[in-house]
């Protein structure tokens, strides 16, 4: 997987303005009654056509580069999510994300901290991310996989696997035939 490097000193005015707009929209979203027409309109304004039908993000939400976030259908993201999407975050259909989960697709170069090192995160169909878990740059969480609460995922989690701990390790596999094809 290729790493994208972004020098924040090189941001254009348009990029800064977009970031400011996204930050202000998240603030407004976080201060609007959830599950109302006003809330849903703000969520659609923030994500456009990058959020599937039936998906919901419970406030508060925090993050950056939300224009690089894509959410499938019937996804539920509970409150307190941190979505650092500079490297891209893709969440497929039917994913459950518990409270206070961090999905981080970027980091800082250790020698030049104004440079972001970015790698995409993919959470595949039907995955379940437990409360307080952290998904780090470049990770794929497989179909119907489970990430345990408070786990720190630094490597890919295979389809149907259950991974727990810091760093997360696979402890077992779920029965594939018990899930929809």
Percent helix / strand / coil, the chain, rounded to 5: 25, 35, 45
If you average pLDDT over residues 87-116, what whole number do you get? 98
Q: Taking residues 49-73, report their average pLDDT.
A: 97
Question: Parallel, antiparallel, or unpaired: how do β-strands 61-64 and 81-84 relate?
Answer: parallel
Cis peptide before 46 (omega within 30 of 0): no
Q: What is the CATH number of the domain that holds 61?
A: 2.160.10.10
Q: Say if 178 falls within a structural domain.
A: no
The gap from C-alpha 101 to its chain's centroid, in whole angstroms, comes to 8
Residue 43 to residue 69: CA distance in whole angstroms: 12
By residue count, the chain amounts to: 181
Q: Kindly give the pairing relationship between strand 115-118 and strand 106-108.
A: antiparallel
- What is the spatial distance between Cα 93 and Cα 122, in angstroms, rounded to a whole number? 12
- Helix (H/G/I), strand (E/B), else coil: 47: helix
What is the pLDDT at residue 164? 98
Q: What is the rounded CA–CA span in Å between residue 79 and residue 7?
A: 31
8 Å CB contact between 98 and 77: no
Average pLDDT value for the chain: 97
Structure confidence at residue 180 (pLDDT):
87
For the cut 80, the answer to whether the pLDDT of residue 114 exceeds it is: yes
- pTM here? 0.96
108 is an active site residue: yes
Mean pLDDT along residues 85-107 = 98
Q: Is the pLDDT assigned to residue 1 strictly greater than 70?
A: no
| Closest to 8 measured CA to CA, from 111, 117, 114 | 114
Binned at pLDDT 50, 70 and 90, residue 122 comes out as: very high
Domain that holds residue 161: 4-173
Instruction: Answer yes or no: are the C-beta atoms of 1 and 120 closer than 8 Å.
Output: yes
Task: Please state the rounded mean pLDDT for residues 93-103.
Answer: 98
What pairs with residue 153 in β-bridges? 135
Examine residue 22 and state whether it is found in any structural domain, yes or no. Answer: yes
d(CA 77, CA 98) in angstroms, rounded, equals: 6
With respect to residue 106, please indicate whether it lies within any of the assigned structural domains. yes
Q: Is residue 179 part of a domain?
A: no
> Is residue 180 in some structural domain?
no
Domain count, the chain: 1
User: Is residue 181 situated within a structural domain?
Assistant: no
Q: pLDDT tens digits for 18-46? A: 999 999 999 999 999 999 999 999 999 99
To the nearest whole percent, how much of the chain has pLDDT over 90? 98
Exactly one of 16, 44, 108, 113 is catalytic; name it.
108
């Amino acid at each position: 997987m290729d790493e994208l490097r972004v020098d924040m000193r090189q941001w254009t005015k348009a990029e800064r303005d977009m970031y400011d707009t996204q930050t202000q929209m998240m603030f407004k979203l976080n201060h609007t009654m959830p599950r109302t027409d006003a809330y849903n309109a703000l969520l659609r304004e923030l994500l456009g056509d990058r959020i599937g039908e039936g998906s919901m993000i419970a406030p508060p939400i925090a993050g950056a580069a939300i224009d690089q976030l894509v959410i499938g259908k019937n996804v539920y993201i509970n409150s307190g999510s941190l979505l650092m999407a500079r490297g891209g975050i893709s969440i497929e259909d039917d994913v459950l994300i518990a409270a206070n989960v961090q999905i981080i697709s970027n980091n800082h170069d250790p020698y030049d901290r104004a440079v972001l090192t970015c790698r995409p995160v993919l959470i595949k169909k039907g995955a379940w991310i437990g409360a307080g878990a952290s998904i780090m740059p470049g990770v794929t969480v497989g179909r119907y996989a489970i990430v345990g609460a408070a786990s720190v995922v630094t490597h890919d989690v295979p389809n149907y696997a259950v991974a727990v701990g810091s760093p997360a390790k696979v402890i077992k596999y779920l029965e594939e035939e018990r899930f929809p094809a």
